[in-house]
Amino acid sequence: MKKMGITSHLITLYILLGMCAAYAHQDNPWKIQPEENTTKDANLVITPSICVIKEVGEICQQKLTILFTSKQRRDICIYNSRDVEPLWCDGKVKEVTLEVSVKVNSSINLLARDSDTNTILASSTFSLNLFQPVKKRPKRHYGIGIL
């Protein structure tokens, strides 16, 4: 009886350890996965990406740095999504940094398009956010120890 009890315990332990090893190699479904840029052929980054205004309809005047990177050289144009005319164009570009001054009263979406095929390679948004005073922000009701 004693040998049978130890054997069953060892088999149970072996099964549990095998299951734990199988689950250890799986991805955690609750973990936030970073966005992978490996599948993208081109990337467009706007810095700063946000402008904060006090009132609706107020104009934001900002100097933006636009960074375009691509895995291969392309003929590209940078467009504001609302305009037909490009902000900037050049040929055989793999990486470029531009500085643009903007005056906007709403968010803008910039597009990097291939000049030859007119396909959108990358896009990025410069957004306007309305400032909310501290009194109007929602309270989180955390305990005093959690900040």
Task: Identify whether the C-beta of residue 126 lies closer than 8 Å to the C-beta of residue 51.
Answer: yes
Lowest mean pLDDT among 70-74, 113-117, 143-147: 143-147
- Domain assignment present for 46: yes
**Host domain of residue 96:** 42-133
Task: Identify whether the C-beta of residue 70 lies closer than 8 Å to the C-beta of residue 41.
Answer: yes
Question: In terms of pLDDT, which residue wins out, 2 or 76?
Answer: 76
Residue 138 — very low, low, confident or very high, per pLDDT cuts 50/70/90?
Answer: confident
- Domain assignment present for 74: yes
Residue-level pLDDT at 41? 83
- Domain assignment present for 99: yes
Residue-level pLDDT at 11? 76
Residue-level pLDDT at 28? 58
- Domain assignment present for 33: no
Reported pTM: 0.62
Q: Could you tell me the end-to-end alpha-carbon distance of the chain, in angstroms, rounded to an integer?
A: 57
Let me know how many helices (H) and strands (E) the chain has, helices first: 1, 6
Residue-level pLDDT at 29? 57
- Domain assignment present for 17: no
Looking at the predicted structure, is the pLDDT value of residue 116 above 70?
A: yes
| Domain count within the chain | 1
- Domain assignment present for 122: yes
Residue-level pLDDT at 35? 54
Here the CATH number for the domain that contains residue 76 is 2.60.40.2470
Task: Identify whether the C-beta of residue 102 lies closer than 8 Å to the C-beta of residue 61.
Answer: yes
Looking at the predicted structure, is the pLDDT value of residue 69 above 70?
A: yes
Model pLDDT for residues 8-25, shown as the tens digit of each residue: 777 776 676 665 555 555
- Domain assignment present for 32: no
Q: ∠ at Cα 82 (118, 111), nearest 5°?
A: 45
- Domain assignment present for 21: no
